[in-house]
């Protein structure tokens, strides 16, 4: 086992976690981890090979029969131990997130870690009374774990996406092989140590680092993996589904989004606009369900623009480790280039730049920082209204009547998140029913970890979180003549 690394977030094992222990990769390749605030390499982690993946899958397969027979109460207790350890180690986890993808330390402490823990809490709680066996007449309907699951996660909410998959998979009684994003693997390695320390039986949880092209693709095609759950880009989601088809795996895909936020004519703009801007810019705009299209009544456009500009100007872009910072850098170089290109596209398309724009914010000469950017006068046919940008870039699109607002909201290939703001709740509810997305939020409610999350159309297939998330990892068996 090569030496553990100190990254400023505590000591992290750089290896692979297979069959209950840390192991070296069978090859010599490593993956660099770059701090996006400084552009400096802060660590390397071992890059797994396909032979390593085979060992991990074999361990998960060998563990499956025993683990699936574990009493539900024991699985619940195991998840509770994982939950407690995440909270106990919240600070090193938050620091790892700050260093590996630039989350501000306050956002890492206040959102990335506690929301990740919430997925584990929810999975544990579901096991209190989840009906794994129900009767329909004389037929028993039994819900059973699907088997060995391959879990592929992205860099934007690294820990949160991991627990959203691992916790329900273990709750269901599945065994897993996790491949975290190669761009932000540090929090994943801390999580693997937590799983280890919580006493999860060997082989039940395995972690293999690697690129999507090498390890992710091999997982999708693997003959002994029964299901793949991927969160990532549409490109990767489609490639996984294609590679998984010959082995008839279940494939759950949580992919991109271009989520609408309709401000109805009676919306309280003083509340709705700042919350809408901050929701779009949360996590530096790197959230799949970020409401990046603010669809506003043309008669109130000037008011909206003034409030939106004031909201953006109050954002402090800077060192994510500084508690006063409210927006850190974009998480990596490739994404930084994409965001810059899309800001240039918006200008070239003729959208009006309300604030922000090309280049780093004043005073920043290195790091993947961008300026919080708002375009107004955007039309639905523009690329900045159609394509996921995944950065702090908001498009304000005016409408003349509610039918047009709904038509604009539904005018993308995506269907992940949606928001409606309005004083008349009945009207807001009616508009929500017309939006073709997996979630719709009315007037910025609290986050609900039980609410199913997932996409219509190109945003994916399947649902995560809560009972719906658990059921993704279950097969359905009917036993006729049971009673």
Q: Which residues form the interface with ligand NAD (CB under 6 A)?
A: 152-157, 161, 179, 181-182, 211-213, 216-217, 220, 230-233, 236, 239-240, 254-257, 288, 388, 390, 416, 455, 459-460
Could you say which DSSP state residue 213 is in?
A: I
Nearest CA among 476, 477, 474 for reference residue 149: 474
For residues 142 and 162, give the distance between their C-alpha atoms in angstroms, rounded to a whole number. Answer: 27
* Beta-bridge mates of residue 21: 18
Nearest CB to ligand NAD, comparing residues 255 and 435: 255
**What's the min distance (Å) between Cβ of 93 and ligand NAD?**
18
Shortest separation between residue 388's beta carbon and ligand NAD, angstroms = 6
Smallest separation, CB 342 to ligand NAD (Å): 13
Nearer to ligand NAD, 49 or 376 (CB): 49
Burial bucket for residue 101 (CB in 10 Å: 0-12, 13-18, 19+): buried
Q: How far is the CB of 31 from ligand NAD (least distance, A)?
A: 10
Catalytic annotation, pick one of 100, 174, 182, 288: 288
Edge-first strand order for the sheet with 474-479 is: 133-136, 139-145, 474-479
Identify any residues that bridge with 399 across adjacent strands, giving them in sequence order: 297
Residue indicated by tokens 């899309």? 342
Known catalytic residue: 254? Answer: yes
User: What order of strands is seen across the sheet that includes strand 441-442?
Assistant: 352-357, 371-376, 393-399, 293-297, 260-263, 419-421, 441-442
Q: Could you identify the residue written with the tokens 């490593």?
A: 30
User: d(Cα 164, Cα 151) in Å, to the nearest integer?
Assistant: 10
**Nearer CB in complex with ligand NAD: 82/188:** 188
On the CB side of 226, CA atoms within 13 Å amount to: 18
Tokens of 238: 């489609």
Catalytic residue among 182, 254, 388, 464: 254
Is the Cβ of residue 154 or residue 318 nearer to ligand NAD in the bound state? 154
What is the smallest separation between the CB atom of 29 and ligand NAD, expressed in angstroms? Answer: 15
Helices (H), ranges, 392-455: 402-409, 425-434
Write the DSSP string, 400-411.
SSHHHHHHHHT-
Q: What angle do CA 284, 286, 288 make, to 5 degrees?
A: 145
For residue 181, the minimal CB distance to ligand NAD (Å) is 4
Nearest to ligand NAD of 305, 464 (CB atom): 464
Cα 309 to chain centroid distance, Å, stands at 28
β partners of residue 349: none
Of the pair 272, 288, the CB lying nearest ligand NAD is at 288
The end-to-end CA distance of the chain, in Å, is 54
Contact 408, 353 (CB under 8 A): no
The residue among 236 and 267 lying less far from ligand NAD, judged by its C-beta, is 236
Shortest distance, CB of residue 138 to ligand NAD, whole angstroms? 40
- Is the distance from CB of 379 to CB of 397 less than 8 angstroms? yes
DSSP structure string for 93-132: HHHHHHHHH---HHHIIIIIHHHHHHHHHHHHHHTTT--S
User: Minimum distance between the CB of residue 475 and ligand NAD, rounded to whole angstroms?
Assistant: 23
| CB of 72 or CB of 413, closer to ligand NAD | 413
The yes-or-no answer on residue 288 being catalytic is yes
Which residues are catalytic, by number?
254, 288
């Amino acid at each position: 086992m090569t030496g553990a690394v100190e990254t400023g977030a505590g000591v992290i094992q750089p290896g692979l976690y297979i069959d209950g222990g840390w192991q070296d990769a069978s090859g010599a390749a490593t993956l660099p981890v770059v701090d996006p605030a400084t552009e400096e390499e802060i660590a390397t982690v071992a890059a797994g090979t396909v032979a390593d993946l085979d060992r991990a899958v074999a361990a998960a397969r060998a563990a499956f029969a025993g683990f699936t027979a574990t009493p539900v109460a024991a699985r619940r207790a195991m998840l509770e131990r994982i939950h407690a350890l995440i909270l106990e180690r919240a600070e090193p986890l938050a620091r790892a997130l700050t260093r590996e993808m630039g989350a501000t330390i306050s956002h890492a402490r206040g959102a990335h870690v506690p929301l990740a823990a919430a997925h584990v809490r929810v999975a544990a709680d579901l096991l209190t009374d989840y009906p794994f066996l129900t009767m329909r007449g004389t037929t028993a309907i039994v819900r059973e774990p699907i088997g060995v699951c391959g879990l592929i996660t992205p860099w934007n909410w690294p820990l949160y996406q991991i627990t959203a998959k691992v916790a329900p998979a273990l709750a269901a009684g599945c065994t897993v092989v996790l491949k975290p994003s190669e761009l932000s693997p540090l929090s994943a390695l801390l999580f693997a140590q937590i799983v280890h320390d919580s006493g999860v039986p060997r082989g039940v949880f395995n972690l293999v680092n690697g690129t999507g092209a090498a390890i992710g693709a091999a997982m999708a095609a693997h003959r002994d993996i029964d299901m793949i759950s991927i969160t990532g880009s549409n490109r990767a989601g489609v490639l996984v589904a294609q590679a998984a088809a010959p082995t008839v795996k279940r494939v759950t895909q949580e992919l991109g989004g271009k989520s609408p936020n309709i401000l109805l004519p009676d919306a309280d703009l003083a509340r709705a606009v700042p919350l809408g801007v901050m929701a779009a810019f949360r996590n530096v705009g790197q959230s799949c369900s970020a409401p990046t299209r603010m669809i506003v009544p043309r008669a109130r456009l000037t008011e909206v623009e003034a409030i939106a500009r004031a909201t953006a100007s109050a954002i402090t872009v800077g060192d994510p480790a500084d508690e006063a910072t409210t927006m850190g850098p974009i998480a990596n170089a490739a994404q930084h280039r994409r965001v810059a290109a899309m800001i240039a596209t918006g200008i070239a398309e003729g959208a009006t730049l309300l604030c922000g724009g090309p280049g780093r914010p004043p005073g920043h000469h290195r790091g993947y920082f961008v300026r919080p950017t708002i375009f107004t006068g955007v039309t639905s046919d523009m690329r900045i209204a159609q394509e996921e940008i995944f950065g702090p870039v908001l498009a304000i699109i005016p409408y003349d009547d509610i039918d047009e607002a709904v038509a604009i909201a539904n005018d993308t290939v995506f269907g992940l998140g949606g928001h409606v703001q309005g004083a008349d709740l009945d009207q807001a509810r009616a508009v929500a029913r017309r939006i073709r997305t997996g979630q719709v939020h009315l007037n910025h409610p609290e986050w609900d970890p039980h609410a199913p999350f997932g996409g219509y159309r190109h945003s994916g297939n399947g649902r995560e979180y809560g009972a719906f998330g658990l059921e993704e990892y279950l097969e359905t068996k009917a036993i006729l003549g049971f009673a």
